[in-house]
A and B are shown apart, each in its own frame.
Chain A
Amino acid sequence: MMMTKTHSSEKVPLWRKVLSGLAEAPPTGLLGLVVLFTYLFVIVFAPWLAPFGEATIVADAFAPWSAEHLLGTDSLGRDIYSRLIYAARNTVGITLMATLLAFVIGGALGMVAAVVGGWVDQVLSRLVDMLMAIPLLIFALLLLMIFGSSVTALILILGCLEATRVFRLTRAVAMNVAVMDYVEAARLRGEKMLWIIRREILPNILSPLFAEFGLRFCFIFLLVSSLSFLGLGLQPPTADWGAMVRENAMLITFGRVTPLLPAAAIAILTIAVNLVVDWFTHKASGLSK
């Protein structure tokens, strides 16, 4: 929960606010939150939850579901249930890093463009227009071919490409704030650009940025999964949901649902984030139900 602090609400303790917020939550939002916390739990406690190691070969290839190997084993004889749990860490970790990077770059440049304006804004905006004219997946494929599929390269490439989208939104919402009288006042009394951004602009655009963070997270998450599925994302033996679908895809032709489970894990997390974002934007826009 991220809320802009106002002076009147400072006396109410935080846990009270959270509790009353939860009480008013729509059932879909609550459901999303519960799912998010479940994923978080799995990510934090992965090594304790997984019965086997991420890359350990424990049995024959393609063993069926059993008490020992809950979801069977994959083409190399690794425990699928354990890999499913470890993959949560890897995929979500990379996505979070890339999303944060996108917000640091895109958010900072977007606010600078809005506050400084003039040719700085023109140059940055046209540059972003150009970069956005190439389909994201195609651009990512091209860059991955050049820099190779290391974890660092993945985070940098996705972070930089998505930064263009973040830039657009940040610039647009920051523009609305930058024309306010109090920003003009700060300028006239000689405050530096960084001070204006930190004290006047940022606090006022946090809530649209927070909603955007959720949506960007989903988008990058699906993109990472797609790239891994195509064999160009996270490299083996690292467990990754997208890659696990690819590795076990042939089981589908025997009518087994195992390869669908990692794909479902991706879908459920994305839906949950969307539900929470919906709830949040509804709340932030002040609309009643």
Chain B
Amino acid sequence: MNQLLMTVAKRLGLGLFTLLIISMVIFLAVEMLPGDIATEILGQMATPEAVAAIRQELGLDQPIVSRYFDWLSGLLTGDLGQSLATGQPVLELLDDRLINTLYLAGTAALISVPLALGLGVIAALYRNTLVDRAVSMFTLSAISMPEFFIAYVLILFISVQLGWIPSMSKVDADQSLLERLQLTILPAITLTFVTCAHMMRMTRAAIINLLSSPYIEMAYLKGLGPWRIIVHHTLPNAWAPIVNVIVMNLAYLITGVVVVEVVFVYPGLGQLMVDSVAKRDLPVVQAASMIFAATYILLNLIADVVSIVSNPRLLHPK
């Protein structure tokens, strides 16, 4: 047990260290921006006095190391500075949008994970048959399509031709849960297409990989049915790789939301990030990148910890 805790603790430490390095990378990347931020805000015609004043206001006259620590401590205490474009506090901008994005990613995960597991088990059960080939052809096409293609096909058929759901997903806090769900469903289905395929392929591969083990052959020889063998005997041992790929795909959702949010005009973090990049709104981009990176690292960390914990060799050290 001790060894297990040590491994997990080590992994957690490494995750935190990575996060620290990432924060440096994001901070320094923006520092490399050609030109002066103050001049950028005021325009080329600004007087030197005005530039100096705004530099002081933004703290740009401080040395880079102390500015990094200011920024980092602000990040930890929730003070993310102000948007250069609107002057609003960044935290205010992010607040609702973060919740919207999590809601969308959560809905997508709730649909895609069970679907992927089900399809994966079915493909493994009927491996090398027509069903398997159809499922694998379908997943190959789903991985190969850009998100916006799937999104616009859905809009064309479901929103425009059938008129069931509006094509713009303008959710806000005042809507009821059901209204919100209705507006979230199209973006969520788009994300499902993209992530489901990969998870399903890995589930199928993990199960088929185990099917040649002697203990599965034993189960066959005992006369158990294929369905029972896969669900009760193979699946429990395939959990580690499957959970791993599920969490990795949830991490993929993090970037998937960017394009999907733009297509559906969904007021989430991804759309904010794209807008802010176009406007070169540094504090917002820094904060949004940091949130995306932190979530991504956290999910990868969970994947690692799960595969460590579900490894029986570590649970029962000699």
Shortest CB distance A127–B (Å): 10
B177 interfacial by beta-carbon distance below 8 Å:
no
B82-90, B97-105, B209-217, B250-258 - interface stretch? B250-258
A145 to B285, Cβ gap below 8 A? Answer: yes
Collect the chain A residues with CB atoms within 8 Å of residue B26's CB. Answer: 134, 142
Given contacts A133-B18, A133-B22, contact A142 B289 (CB under 8 A): yes
The secondary structure that dominates the A interface is helix
Shortest CB distance B243–A (Å): 20
| A142 to B284 CA separation, bound complex (whole angstroms) | 11
A107 interfacial by beta-carbon distance below 8 Å:
no
B173 interfacial by beta-carbon distance below 8 Å:
no
| A230 to B140 CA separation, bound complex (whole angstroms) | 24
Collect the chain A residues with CB atoms within 8 Å of residue B262's CB. Answer: 229-230
Per the CB 8 Å criterion, the residue count for chain B at the interface is 47
B21 contact from A130, A242, A252, A254, Cβ within 8 A:
A130
Given contacts A245-B148, A260-B153, contact A230 B33 (CB under 8 A): no
A135 contact from B29, B160, B254, Cβ within 8 A:
B254
| A195 to B153 CA separation, bound complex (whole angstroms) | 53
| A245 to B149 CA separation, bound complex (whole angstroms) | 9
B266 interfacial by beta-carbon distance below 8 Å:
no
B116-124, B271-279, B305-313 - interface stretch? B271-279
B259 to A230, Cβ gap below 8 A? Answer: yes
Collect the chain A residues with CB atoms within 8 Å of residue B74's CB. Answer: none
For A267, give the chain B residue with the smallest CB separation: B145
- Contact code string A252-266 (vs B, CB < 8 Å = 1, else 0): 111101011001101
Shortest CB distance B133–A (Å): 10
B67 interfacial by beta-carbon distance below 8 Å:
no
| A118 to B120 CA separation, bound complex (whole angstroms) | 41
A230 to B258, Cβ gap below 8 A? Answer: yes
B32 contact from A146, A226, A230, A267, Cβ within 8 A:
A146
A208 interfacial by beta-carbon distance below 8 Å:
no
B155 to A252, Cβ gap below 8 A? Answer: yes
B146 to A226, Cβ gap below 8 A? Answer: yes
A133 to B297, Cβ gap below 8 A? Answer: yes
Collect the chain A residues with CB atoms within 8 Å of residue B274's CB. Answer: 141, 230-232
Given contacts A229-B148, A260-B149, contact A133 B293 (CB under 8 A): yes
A137 contact from B161, B255, B297, Cβ within 8 A:
B255
A80 interfacial by beta-carbon distance below 8 Å:
no
Collect the chain A residues with CB atoms within 8 Å of residue B273's CB. Answer: 138, 141
Given contacts A255-B161, A257-B156, A260-B152, contact A133 B296 (CB under 8 A): yes
Collect the chain B residues with CB atoms within 8 Å of residue A254's CB. Answer: 160
Collect the chain B residues with CB atoms within 8 Å of residue A147's CB. Answer: 34
Shortest CB distance B97–A (Å): 15
Given contacts A134-B296, A137-B255, contact A263 B18 (CB under 8 A): no
Shortest CB distance B169–A (Å): 14
| A267 to B147 CA separation, bound complex (whole angstroms) | 10
Collect the chain B residues with CB atoms within 8 Å of residue A255's CB. Answer: 156, 160-161
B147 to A226, Cβ gap below 8 A? Answer: yes
B148 to A263, Cβ gap below 8 A? Answer: yes
| A255 to B273 CA separation, bound complex (whole angstroms) | 30
Collect the chain B residues with CB atoms within 8 Å of residue A222's CB. Answer: 146
Which residues does B use to contact A, with CB under 8 Å?
18, 21-22, 25-26, 29-30, 32-34, 140-141, 143-149, 152-153, 155-156, 159-161, 167, 251, 254-255, 258-259, 262-263, 273-274, 277-278, 280, 285, 288-289, 292-293, 296-297, 300
- Give the top 6 A-B pairs by smallest Cβ distance, nearest first: A263-B149, A270-B144, A137-B255, A267-B145, A271-B144, A145-B277
Contact sample, A vs B, 18 pairs, CB 8 Å cutoff = A130-B21, A130-B22, A133-B22, A133-B300, A135-B254, A135-B255, A136-B255, A138-B273, A141-B273, A145-B277, A252-B160, A253-B155, A260-B156, A263-B145, A263-B152, A266-B146, A266-B149, A270-B145
- Given A146-B32, A263-B152, A266-B149, output 13 extra A-B contacts at Cβ < 8 Å: A130-B22, A137-B255, A138-B254, A138-B293, A142-B285, A145-B277, A146-B33, A230-B259, A242-B148, A252-B160, A266-B146, A267-B149, A270-B144
